[in-house]
């Protein structure tokens, strides 16, 4: 029996879910304007209480590993690592785009492709493409979009995620299908986390860091003129 708490903070939406052997027991989702840091500890406790589960009963904690919001990922990973370190539990990481795709898996029939898209700067997104079996056709990558970005594909291509709307405005291919309002959500991490748990694919609690995909840049303050 694998009892896994999942934490997803790669966007402005903060979500926490509890799964037993991949089956959802409880979950919460919150939209926040600034920081997940004040919400996460309380949400984790509430999710466990809703399922009549003690924190100490957990077997592992799964966390979204990126890409996504630098601050959100940092807070999510720090919270997950803190729980694992304090309770001596296993840490599992799940790529953010895999979590988005999981919400759409098995919803469609025939020969099709899934393309999750996370918003980056301007006309850039973080994206990947996989077939209906989950095999990656495009590996995770930052991609600058133009009207010809997906011309190489002829089969139905389902696009979703918060980076999708800006591509929808310039797209002109007939095989593109746009799905609205799809976000990364911890409730969709259950099967992915269980698979890694069974295969003992755990992270080092001390050294694991999120995959920001791009180097984090800070702005150097301008010197004040005297």
What residue has token string 């979950």? Answer: 27
Strand partners, 117: 127
pLDDT score of 31: 85
14 or 218, greater pLDDT: 14
pLDDT score of 38: 72
pLDDT score of 35: 60
Strand partners, 181: none
- In angstroms, what CA-CA distances link 83 with 37, 61, 181? 14, 8, 31
Tokens of 82: 């803190």
In the chain, DSSP assigns E strands to 3-8, 13-20, 23-31, 60-64, 90-94, 113-119, 124-131, 136-144, 157-160, 176-178
Q: What is the mean pLDDT of the chain?
A: 91
pLDDT score of 219: 42
- Residue 225, pLDDT above cutoff 80: no
Selection from 113, 144, 115, 112 nearest residue 127 by Cα: 115
What residue has token string 């269980």? Answer: 194
pLDDT score of 34: 61
Mean per-residue pLDDT for 47-65? Answer: 96
Q: Note the pTM of the prediction, 2 decimals.
A: 0.91
Structural domains in the chain, sorted by start: 3-95+184-198 (3.30.420.40), 104-178 (3.30.420)
The pLDDT tens digits for 84-109 are 999 999 999 999 999 999 999 989 99
Tokens of 132: 């209906």
Mean per-residue pLDDT for 15-22? Answer: 97
Q: What pLDDT band is residue 223 in, cutting at 50, 70 and 90? A: very low
Lowest mean pLDDT among 60-64, 98-102, 147-151, 214-218: 214-218
Distance (Å, whole) CA 67 – CA 64: 8
Residues above pLDDT 70, as percent of the chain: 92
**DSSP letter for each residue of 83-130:** HHHHHT-EEEEE-HHHHHHHTTTTSS-SS-EEEEEEE-STTEEEEEEE
Distance (Å, whole) CA 32 – CA 143: 27
């Amino acid at each position: 029996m694998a009892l896994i708490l999942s934490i997803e903070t790669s966007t402005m939406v903060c979500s926490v879910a509890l799964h037993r052997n991949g089956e959802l027991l409880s979950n919460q989702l919150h939209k926040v304007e600034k920081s997940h840091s004040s919400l996460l500890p309380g949400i984790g406790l509430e999710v466990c209480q809703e399922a009549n589960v003690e924190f100490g009963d957990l077997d592992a904690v799964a966390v979204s590993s990126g890409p996504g919001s630098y601050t959100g990922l940092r807070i999510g990973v720090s919270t997950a690592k803190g729980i694992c370190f304090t309770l001596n539990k296993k840490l599992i990481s799940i790529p953010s785009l895999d979590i988005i795709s999981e919400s759409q898996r098995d919803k469609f029939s025939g020969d099709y492709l899934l393309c999750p898209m996370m918003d980056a700067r301007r006309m850039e997104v973080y994206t990947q493409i996989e077939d209906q079996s989950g095999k990656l056709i495009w590996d995770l990558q930052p991609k600058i979009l133009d009207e010809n970005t997906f011309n190489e594909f002829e089969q139905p291509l389902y696009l979703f995620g918060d980076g999708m709307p800006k591509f929808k405005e310039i797209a002109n291919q007939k095989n593109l299908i746009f799905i609205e309002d799809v976000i990364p959500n911890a409730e969709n991490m259950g099967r992915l986390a269980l698979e890694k748990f069974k295969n003992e694919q755990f992270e080092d609690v001390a050294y694991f860091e999120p995959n920001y995909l791009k180097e984090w840049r800070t702005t150097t303050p301008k010197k004040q003129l005297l």
